[in-house]
Structure 1
Amino acid sequence: MSLLDMVREAGVIGAGGAGFPTHAKLTSKAEYILLNGAECEPLLRVDQQLMKLFPDEIIKGFEAAGKLVGAAKGLIGIKGKHKEVISILRNRIKALQVSDFIEVKELPDIYPAGDEQVLVYELTGRVVPETGIPIKVGCVVVNTETALNIYHANLGEPVTEKYITVAGDIPKRLTVKVPVGTPIIDVLKLSGIENFDDYAVIDGGPMMGPVMDNIDGYVTKKNKGFVILKKQHSLIRRKSVNIEQARRVNRSSCEQCRMCTDMCPRYLLGHNMQPHKIMRALNYALDDVEGQKIAQLCCQCNLCELFSCPAGLYPKSANLYFKGKLAEQNIRYKPIKSQFAARKSREYRLIPSKRLIARLGLNNFDRPAPMTEVNMEPELVHIAMRQHVGAPAVPIVNPGDYVQVGQQVGKIPEDSLGAAVHASISGKVIESENGFIVIRRE
């Protein structure tokens, strides 16, 4: 079986949060393969620790993926502040005799260094076109944990566990490995908190992650971290504003200062993303569809909303509003050029992570979350059939069946983009409908 088939069978997806099936990405032919070790979201600590603990496995998985796409060079992007990890990686690259192919390049400590298009520019100097993906400029990007999973896939081991950081206003900050399908509440309680009535939970990083409506869900292969904060924290209050509330606030106060645009990472890469124009269209009920289309260039990094706007308005919400309206009408933005260059002002408008953390009110919680071994053995796991981009997996087991950990329980539908899913514990299948396969440990 080829590596591509093994990655497909193992159910490897983008572990950084996007969830794109990795086997589909690795069918491309590229000049560069890039490892995204930036982990630019405040408080999250998974990737930097994985590179320290499993450097050989990550390097080998990354190298294998690079050869699969025919890359001439593999570049590992990691923030320069992680000096110990950088030293470990460089030493192991040399020891594994792959220095001619793989190189570590240091990234500035900025947000969003981990945005794919920002990463491509920082590592190669190339700008991904509007509405494009990295392969448009000869690059394929994989996440650190994804590279680790590619290594395991090459050994015939599927993805059944997930690394997650639990951080925030909690007694115990930690990073753990848990079975896919574990109840989220069980992971949250590792923080030392038992009663969450006074707390809210952000699914992912504090910038892009949404506030969870409830905490009764289950861990998927896409989860990266959970940030727990008091409900009255300013970040929770801002992220809990819905689009209609945001529209009312925007209409009342926007003075068209352009700060949302001038600090936008995609605008600084030369794209036509201009949030202040979207705010103008919203506030004055402008019906210029062509002008609204640029909302589709938003990467939802949330800098405009949580950092740039001096009045504390909601430009990203305005972008989302028009994105939704245009999607309903099946209207898409079409670039008018194919070559892009970063704006000259970019180097002066990069956002330091420390400054961002202070603005978010998270200074007191920006602390280590060390990798911790926990005996996480849930009695029941709920394996979601849709925990990736594309079509949901099709169950191939039935209630009453006994399965072993690592056994495939959901397959990719014919002629569809998707990912296989596997049992994360051994036991008896008690349900295979409603989008989940539920397994009871035995």
Structure 2
Amino acid sequence: MDLLTIIKDAGVIGAGGAGFPTHAKLTSKAEYILLNGAECEPLLRVDQQLMEQFPDEIIKGMEAAGRYIEARKAIIGIKGKHKEVIVLMRERIAALGLTDYMEVMELRDIYPAGDEQVLVHELTQRIVPEASIPLKVGCVVINSETALNIFKAMAGNPVTETYITIAGDIPRRMTVKVPVGISIRDVLGQCGMENIDDYAVIDGGPMMGSIMNNVDGYVTKKSKGYVLLKKDHFLIRKKSVSLDRARIIGKTACEQCRMCTDLCPRYLLGHNMQPHKVMRALSYNLEDVLEQQIAQLCCECNACELFSCPVGLHPKSVNVFYKQKLAEQGIKYQPIQMDFQARSAREYRLIPSKRLVIRIGLTAFDKPAPLTQIEFRPEYIQIALRQHIGAPALPVVTIGEQVKTGQLIAKIPDNSLGATVHSSLNGTVIEINDNSIVIKVGSYV
């Protein structure tokens, strides 16, 4: 069985948040394979700790993927501030005899260093064209946990667990390994708070994550972090503004200062992403959304909305609004050029992570979240059939069937992009619906 089949059968997806099926990413040859160890979202601590705990496994998983796509070089990108992790990874690369193939490069402590296109430029000086992917410039990007899952897949272990940082205004900040499908409430219960009624929970990082309407959901393979903040915190109030409200505020208050554009990471790479122009269209009630195609170049990093705008407007939300309008009309951005140069001002307009943390009011909570061993004993798990980009997986089990940890419970539909799904614990299938499979666990059967 070749590596691609092994990865496909194990249900490996991008663990950094997007959830793109890894086997599909490795179908093409590339010059470079890049490991995204930037973890640029404030407060999240998963990748740096995984590299510290499992350096050999991550290195071997990355090497296997790199050799498969015939990459001539493998580069691990880690922020320079993580000095101990950098030293460790370099030592292990040498010990494994891979110094001629693999190296660690130090990234600057900027946001969003973990954006794929920013990462590609920082590590290779190449620029991914507008509306394109790293493969267009000979690069494939995976993250630390994905590389670890590739290694596990080669050992015959499918993806049944994920690592999550619990952070924010809480007594106990930690990073934990949890079974996929466990309830989010069970995870949050470890943070040392008995009652979270006065708190809001951000699913993901503080910048790109969204506020959860309720916390009665279940962990998926791509769950990365939960940030708890009081409901009156600046960040929660900002993220709670509806799209309609954001449009009204932007329409009445935008002064066209250009700060949202001048600090936009994609604009600084030479792309035509100019949020101030999209805001201008909103102000003038321009109904022809065809002219607002540049909104589709927005990576939704939220730098414009949470850092750049001097009067607290919502340019990212307005970009999202126009993205939706363009999608409804079937309009896709058509690049007019393929070669790009970083703008000359880029070096002076990068966003320092520490300044960002201060700007969004998280300095008091920017503390370690140590990897903590916790044994979860849930009564039920609910495993989503769509934890990835692509078509939902199709159940291959029936109600009443007993399943074991690691057993395939849903497959990829024929001729579709998708990922397989496995049971994360022993138990009995008690419900199958369009969205998930519910399993009653172990001793509760």
Partner of 1:333: 333
Q: Which residue of 1 aligns with 2:187?
A: 187
d(CA) in 2 for partners of 1:240, 1:186: 24
Report the secondary structure of 2:210's partner residue. Answer: coil
Structure 1 letter corresponding to 2:115: D
**CA deviation profile, 1:183-230 (whole Å, cap 9, x unmatched):** 000101110112111000000000000000100000000100000000
Q: Which residue of 1 aligns with 2:135?
A: 135
- Name the aligned partner's letter for residue 173 of structure 1: R
What whole-Å deviation, never above 9, does each CA across 1:249-300 have from its counterpart, x for those lacking one?
A: 1111100000000000000000000000000001111234343000000000
Aligned to 2:354: 354
What amino acid does structure 2 have at the position aligned with 1:337? Q
**1:432 CA drift (Å):** 1.5
Looking at structure 2, the residues matched to 193 and 187 of structure 1 have their Cα atoms a distance apart, in angstroms, of: 12
Letter matched to residue 259 of structure 2: M
Distance 1:395 1:194 in 2: 36
Corresponding residue for residue 236 of structure 1: 236
In structure 1, the partner of 2:162 is 162
Q: Equivalents in 2 of 1:437, 1:250: separation in Å?
A: 42
- Structure 2 equivalent of residue 428 of structure 1: 428
Whole-angstrom CA distance in 1 between matches of 2:143 and 2:404: 28
1:437 match: secondary structure: strand
1:98-127 deviation digits (Å, cap 9, x = unpaired)? 111100000000000000000000000000
Matches within 5 A, 1:249-398: 249-398=249-398
Query: Letter of the aligned partner of 1:49 in structure 2?
Result: Q
**Residue of structure 2 equivalent to 1:70:** 70
Q: How does 1:69-108 map onto structure 2 within 5 Å?
A: 69-108=69-108
CA distance in 1 between partners of 2:176 and 2:405 (Å): 19
Corresponding residue for residue 415 of structure 1 = 415
Instruction: Give the Cα separation in 2 of the matches to 1:194 and 1:319.
Output: 38
The one-letter amino acid paired with 1:78 is: I
Shift of 1:366: 0.1
**Residue type of the partner of 1:239?**
K
Partner of 2:438: 438
Q: Does 1:45 align with 2:45?
A: yes
Q: 2-side partners of 1:337 and 1:289: how far apart?
A: 21
> 2:100, 2:294 → 1: CA distance?
41
1:226 corresponds in structure 2 to: 226
Partner-residue secondary structure (3-state), 1:67: helix
Structure 1 Cα separation of the partners of residues 329 and 267 of structure 2: 25
**Structure 1: gaps (5+ residues):** none
Alignment of 1:22-33 (within 5 A): 22-33=22-33
Cα distance in structure 2, aligned partners of 1:261 and 1:333: 18
SS at match of 1:410: strand
**TM-score, normalised by the number of residues in structure 1:** 0.99
Whether the 8 Å CA contact 2:30–2:70 is kept in 1: the answer is yes
Tell me how far apart the structure 2 counterparts of residues 217 and 351 of structure 1 sit (CA, whole Å): 34
| Residue-pair matches, total | 442
Displacement of 1:42 after TM fit? 0.1
Amino acid at match of 2:219: V
What is the CA–CA distance in structure 2 between the aligned matches of 1:141 and 1:49, rounded to whole Å?
A: 19
Q: Is the 8 A contact 2:289 2:322 kept in 1?
A: no
- 1:288-334 per-position Cα deviation (integer Å, ceiling 9, x unaligned): 43430000000000000000000100000110110000100001110
CA distance, structure 1, for counterparts of residue 115 and residue 368 of structure 2: 23
Structure 2 unaligned segments of length 5 or more: list them: none
Aligned to 1:116: 116
Contact 2:180 2:220 in 1 (8 A): yes
Q: CA deviation at 1:434?
A: 3.3
RMSD over aligned Cα, in angstroms? 0.6
| 2:56/2:92 contact within 8 Å kept | yes
Please give the alpha-carbon distance, in whole angstroms, between the structure 1 residues aligned to 2:362 and 2:34: 30
CA distance in 1, matches of 2:220, 2:28: 26
CA distance in 1, matches of 2:131, 2:285: 25
Identity of aligned residues (%): 68
CA distance in 2, matches of 1:320, 1:178: 32
Q: What amino acid maps onto 2:244 in structure 1?
A: E
